[in-house]
Chains A and B, each alone.
Chain A
């Protein structure tokens, strides 16, 4: 949802700038008002959204609890309770988003991982303190939250109605509005009431601010995981990405070993064999021996080339010597599919980030060359906030297998750095491989 707020001053030309600077008083005033107006809309929208949301929460809690209590102890009750839990979680997720929106910051979610059969899962969900905190918030939102939302809407409605009372006081059934101290039944008294409403605005605003702030904080406290749970979730995530990194390293080692075995090592054996045969032949068949020596020399050259390629695969030397930009440009120049680069590489990237980015591009280009049938590839790299974004898009036929060996290896490499790898490859293309690598520690 977009909030209507005071528009940012946009200077179209110099004349506008001059006009703006000729109203020196207005700008600080507007500058001070803007956050207040924004807060007002934010609070009001929170409660407007709150009307359906809290009614929903109330229904979910009442219906859910009664279903769950009836189902307790019955065999058929188990799936019912599972459904109730699922609905609770779904509703809590909605509330998390509403709270996050009012807070202007994400409300993290962390539940204990559910594994095993239905009964085990149910036990895990029931034993998760977050489930009960969710329920507490839903119960609170369904009751007090609803009242608070209604109050906010009625309060602001009354203020607005009274502000414009001079325009409609006469239409009231008994000739005017009763304010206790006086009856606004003449135009003058209606204006007096409007003045009072004007005075009430800051009062209502501050009250609403406190109330909303309190509710949002309570929501945040109940809906987001405890420090302990958040840490546990983080540990779990780190353990899995670390295992992924170890796997990736092992797979990489295996690949290197295989490349050595089938490549350079085999060539050297063949070369030794050629030389051995040549030695035997020299006496009786000098020409044949010379041919074998020439062949051996070719094998030696190929073995050297393979070793060089392999070394480059382990640690691209240009990357170490010149940095990411030149290394990627060189990589694109070697690409089997013509590749253009659009690089905006931030300075002073951590070396692991550079290496990961290099591998993403290298693997994506190799894939494009092997599978996509693409005629052109675009490599773009740039900073996004504190992250480095690497994107490789080809115009090929798409349908890349994100679970394939190469891409899985890349994903692990990227996730080990807390990054994310996305593979978008609908059938018919195009294929985009996008890695986001956070650079700030």
Chain B
């Protein structure tokens, strides 16, 4: 899998290059400036991009803006955004186009190498990866009338993992229950939240992510 990295701090850029190479990715470009990122993306057409939120020149949200611009130029280009803290607005902007292939993770997650790599792969395959921290913030029911309040604790757990972008199989493995049990939970959740049903894992996850960001 071919990756383009945009990270301004050399320390983290080198770390990411090493980590991704070590786990079987091919890093085709590692840049520090948003403009260089856009050029690299158009040149290499990578399978996935890993982008820091803060990039020069102002170190505010250049990474998010570069990602949105890259996806405007190459629709559906898979991009995983790394951030030092969770900012809902950024996540919302990234998921706004309703296409998959988007991730938003805290930088801390790179410590769990296998989880992180799984997230990168999922995004590359058109899935989503939303940081558990962001999910936790989104899964707070707005009030007693919020459909979220109607979910049982178990359904909430499934919902949380779905919002993070996991597939049914991954959720089943995580919770130690059967895939068919998960499918039943998912079906109930979709019923309670009144979401369109879909056979594909990714589409389902996307529906959840979009629902949470309304």
- For A34-49 the 0/1 string (1 means CB < 8 A from B) is 0000000000000000
Residue contact B15 to A273, C-beta cutoff 8 Å: yes
Residue contact B54 to A261, C-beta cutoff 8 Å: yes
Residue contact B9 to A262, C-beta cutoff 8 Å: yes
- For A274, give its contact among B15, B23, B84 (CB under 8 Å): B15
Q: Which residues of A contact B15 (CB under 8 A)?
A: 269-270, 273-274
- For A260-277 the 0/1 string (1 means CB < 8 A from B) is 011001110110111111
Q: Which residues of B contact A273 (CB under 8 A)?
A: 12, 15-16, 19, 110-111, 113
Residue contact B108 to A261, C-beta cutoff 8 Å: no
Given A273-B111, A276-B111, A280-B113, residue A266 in contact with residue B11 (CB < 8 A): yes
A371 CB to closest chain B CB (Å) equals 22
- For B8-40 the 0/1 string (1 means CB < 8 A from A) is 010110011011001100000000000000000
Q: Which residues of B contact A276 (CB under 8 A)?
A: 19, 110-113, 116
Total number of residue pairs linking A and B with CB closer than 8 Å: 47
Size category, A interface:
10 to 19
CA distance A279 to B117 in the complex (A): 14
- For A264-302 the 0/1 string (1 means CB < 8 A from B) is 011101101111110111000000000000000000000
**In chain A, what residue has the closest Cβ to B114?**
A280
Residue contact B113 to A277, C-beta cutoff 8 Å: yes
Size category, B interface:
20 to 34
Q: Is B107 an interface residue (CB 8 A)?
A: yes
CA distance A273 to B114 in the complex (A): 11
**In chain A, what residue has the closest Cβ to B113?**
A276
Q: Which residues of A contact B211 (CB under 8 A)?
A: none
A274 CB to closest chain B CB (Å) equals 7
**In chain B, what residue has the closest Cβ to A279?**
B113
Q: Is A258 an interface residue (CB 8 A)?
A: yes
Residue contact B111 to A272, C-beta cutoff 8 Å: yes
CA distance A191 to B107 in the complex (A): 105
CA distance A273 to B15 in the complex (A): 7
Given A258-B59, A270-B12, residue A265 in contact with residue B114 (CB < 8 A): no
Which of the listed residues A261, A276, A280 has the most CB atoms from chain B within 10 Å of its own CB?
Answer: A276
- For B19, give its contact among A261, A267, A277 (CB under 8 Å): A277
Residue contact B59 to A265, C-beta cutoff 8 Å: no
Q: Which of A238-278 contact B (CB under 8 A)?
A: 258, 261-262, 265-267, 269-270, 272-277
Q: Which residues of A contact B110 (CB under 8 A)?
A: 269, 272-273, 276
Q: Which residues of A contact B113 (CB under 8 A)?
A: 273, 276-277, 279-280
Q: Which residues of B contact A280 (CB under 8 A)?
A: 22-23, 113-114
Q: Which of B113-155 contact A (CB under 8 A)?
A: 113-114, 116
A270 CB to closest chain B CB (Å) equals 5
B60 CB to closest chain A CB (Å) equals 11
B78 CB to closest chain A CB (Å) equals 21
Residue contact B108 to A272, C-beta cutoff 8 Å: yes
Q: Which residues of A contact B11 (CB under 8 A)?
A: 266-267, 270
Given A262-B9, A274-B15, A277-B19, residue A269 in contact with residue B112 (CB < 8 A): no
Residue contact B108 to A269, C-beta cutoff 8 Å: yes
CA distance A276 to B54 in the complex (A): 23
Q: Which residues of B contact A270 (CB under 8 A)?
A: 11-12, 15
CA distance A327 to B11 in the complex (A): 33
**In chain B, what residue has the closest Cβ to A258?**
B59
Q: Which of B98-116 contact A (CB under 8 A)?
A: 107-108, 110-114, 116
B163 CB to closest chain A CB (Å) equals 24
**In chain A, what residue has the closest Cβ to B111?**
A272
CA distance A276 to B59 in the complex (A): 27
CA distance A258 to B54 in the complex (A): 11
Q: Which of B80-112 contact A (CB under 8 A)?
A: 84, 107-108, 110-112
Q: What are 29 sample pairs from A and B whose C-beta atoms fall under 8 A apart?
A: A261-B84, A262-B9, A265-B84, A265-B107, A266-B11, A266-B12, A267-B11, A269-B107, A270-B11, A270-B15, A272-B110, A272-B111, A273-B12, A273-B15, A273-B16, A273-B19, A273-B110, A273-B113, A274-B15, A276-B19, A276-B110, A276-B111, A276-B113, A277-B18, A277-B22, A280-B23, A280-B113, A280-B114, A281-B22
Q: Which residues of B contact A (CB under 8 A)?
A: 9, 11-12, 15-16, 18-19, 22-23, 54, 59, 84, 107-108, 110-114, 116
Q: Which residues of A contact B (CB under 8 A)?
A: 258, 261-262, 265-267, 269-270, 272-277, 279-281
Closest 7 CB pairs of A and B: A272-B111, A276-B113, A273-B15, A276-B111, A269-B107, A270-B15, A273-B110
9 additional contacts (CB under 8 A) given A266-B12, A276-B112: A269-B12, A273-B19, A274-B15, A275-B111, A276-B113, A277-B113, A279-B113, A280-B23, A280-B114
